Amino acid sequence: MDIFDWLERVFGFQTDSVSNQREHLVCLLADQQSMLNPQLKPTKLDEKAVDAIMTKLFMNYKKWCKFLRRETVFMQRQNSKNYYMLA
C-alpha cells in the first residue's frame, strides 16, 4: 500500500485514475533521473531526482502560502532513506 492507495480509499478516487497518477509520478522521476545521471544503474534512484520533483510539485503550494501569509506545512527529509514526514 502506498500514498496513492490511501488517497483512493480515503477520498474515493477511481482506481484507474489512481493508477494513472502513480504511473505519471514514476515517469516524472524516471525523466528527472535520466537528466541528472544517465550512467546510474536503473535500479537506483538518485535522491536529487526526488528532491527536484518535490520542489516542482510543491512550488505552487509554497507560493500560495506566502501570498496568504501562512506558514507552510512542508515535507522534510528525515533521514537518508528518503522518508518524508510533515514538519
Query: One digit per residue, pLDDT tens: the chain, 87 residues?
Result: 888 999 899 999 999 999 999 999 999 998 998 888 777 666 778 888 888 998 888 888 889 989 999 888 765 555 545 444 443
Cα torsion at 57, 58, 64, 70 (round to 10°)? 170
User: 37 lies in which domain range?
Assistant: 3-86
3-state SS assignment for residue 56: helix
Those residues whose C-beta lies under 8 Å from the C-beta of residue 40, and which sit 6 or more positions away, are: 33, 46
Domain count, the chain: 1
Exposure of 50 by Cβ count < 10 A (0-12 exposed, 13-18 middle, 19+ buried)? middle
> What 3-state DSSP class applies to 70?
coil
Rounded to two decimals, the pTM is: 0.66
Looking at residue 12, its pLDDT comes to: 93
